[in-house]
Structure 1
Amino acid sequence: MAKQKRKVPEVTEKKNKKLKKASAEGPLLGPEAAPSGEGAGSKGEAVLRPGLDAEPELSPEEQRVLERKLKKERKKEERQRLREAGLVAQHPPARRSGAELALDYLCRWAQKHKNWRFQKTRQTWLLLHMYDSDKVPDEHFSTLLAYLEGLQGRARELTVQKAEALMRELDEEGSDPPLPGRAQRIRQVLQLLS
């Protein structure tokens, strides 16, 4: 017959209150801190505290749970005090935009940094916005063209298809393209990848 796992007894409300009170008075003695021979049980068993009406001490797991609860309560009280004092908790630093991250990625690639590694999201952003001179400035576009030379697989195919479709749209519009810089970028990408 297979052995069944022992059910861990749940800590009652009364026991929780006693434990909170005891932890507020001083640090709890763990099984390793208890003197050997005096109520020190085997691993997982409750240990009796010397001098406190022989109340069982928490197991290491129960002690960790209690410490987490107390830490959470302290943080909550601290936030409450800050709110009452009119101080706003410090906000985390603002995140960098996708444009900044993608251009940094491109610059690191160009400088052949050892810490550069391929990032699909950055490449995708660059491929989506490479025709927009506001998002990818002219000084970065030449670097982007060099990056596109190494483009492989489906990304390369889709980039060529998209450039061809955009070129067809520009041809259909007529002789006065609204964005001559964009048309030039499309031609450069097509010449490079075709």
Structure 2
Amino acid sequence: MAKHKRPAAKDPQRQSKKLKEAPTEDVATDLQYLYPKGGAASPTEDPQMSPKEKRVQDRKLKKERRKEEKQRLREMGAAQTPTAQTPARRSPAELALDYLLGWARKQDGWRFQKTRQTWLLVHMFQEQEVPDEHFSTLLAYLEGLQGQARQLTVQKAEALMQELDASGGPPARTQERARQVLQLLS
């Protein structure tokens, strides 16, 4: 199928969109900004340039000035950044313990978060991750555990108990925690 050419626009305003002349007042104020006293000669002072070339040249120079200004501001901001402290990201342990304490307080903003629960279930036997002061709260949380998470927690506690019994060492704090979890969930 052959393409049809559009007829040329008969509206004189549409035809001369590209050839619009810039307002002379704005150019004068922009030139004062671009060329402070004692600066380089304005491209509009060059008699060999057409008005269109002058506008293009002015735009380019204006763009360069803006770029230099942004760079200067960026450098000033970079110099101030080391003095300001950036807030440190919270560790997963802190986030999970806050989640657990929020549950214990029955806060309105508390909602179930699988990643936090998973972290607690994986690290519940490690004293350095879940301190003794929070372990009793964790046991209360585990009472409401349902489904596959409950079954896997029981299996994990049983496996840990068997492993620690086989090693024959004195009962460790980890073994005591596993025993408490088994008593609660079995």
Which TM-score tier does this pair reach, normalised by the shorter chain?
Answer: 0.5 to 0.7
Distance 2:81 2:167 in 1: 58
Distance 2:159 2:75 in 1: 58
Which has a greater percent of helix? 2
Cα shift at 1:183: 1.0
Match of 2:84 among 65, 83, 90: 90
Count of residue pairs brought into register by the alignment: 138
Q: TM-score, normalised to structure 2's length?
A: 0.61
Match of 1:78 among 56, 63, 73: 73
Cα shift at 1:115: 0.3
Cα shift at 1:78: 2.4
Q: Does 1:119 align with 2:101?
A: no
Q: Does 1:182 align with 2:177?
A: no
Distance 1:147 1:161 in 2: 18
Distance 2:80 2:103 in 1: 46
Query: For 1:90-109, what aligned pairs fall within 5 Å after superposition?
Result: 90-109=84-103
Cα shift at 1:127: 0.8
Structure 2 residue runs of 5 or longer lacking an equivalent are 2-12, 28-50, 54-65
1:160 corresponds in structure 2 to 154
Q: Secondary structure at the match of 1:88?
A: helix
Query: For 1:53-68, what aligned pairs fall within 5 Å after superposition?
Result: none
Letter in 1 for 2:119: W
Q: TM-score, normalised to structure 1's length?
A: 0.58
Does the 8 Å contact 1:82/1:88 carry over to 2? no
Cα shift at 1:92: 2.4
1:169 corresponds in structure 2 to 163
The higher relative CO (CA closer than 8 Å, separation ≥ 6) is in 2
**1:133–1:87 CA distance, 2 compared to 1 (3 A):** closer
Letter in 1 for 2:104: A
Cα shift at 1:81: 3.0
Cα shift at 1:189: 0.5
Q: Does 1:143 align with 2:131?
A: no
Cα shift at 1:174: 1.3
Letter in 2 for 1:94: A
Structure 1 residue runs of 5 or longer lacking an equivalent are 2-38, 56-69
Distance 2:23 2:77 in 1: 40
Cα shift at 1:134: 1.9
Distance 2:102 2:88 in 1: 22
Aligned-residue CA RMSD (Å): 3.4
Letter in 2 for 1:173: S
Deviations 1:7-33 (A, max 9, x none): xxxxxxxxxxxxxxxxxxxxxxxxxxx
Distance 2:170 2:176 in 1: 13
Distance 1:97 1:135 in 2: 11
Cα shift at 1:77: 3.4
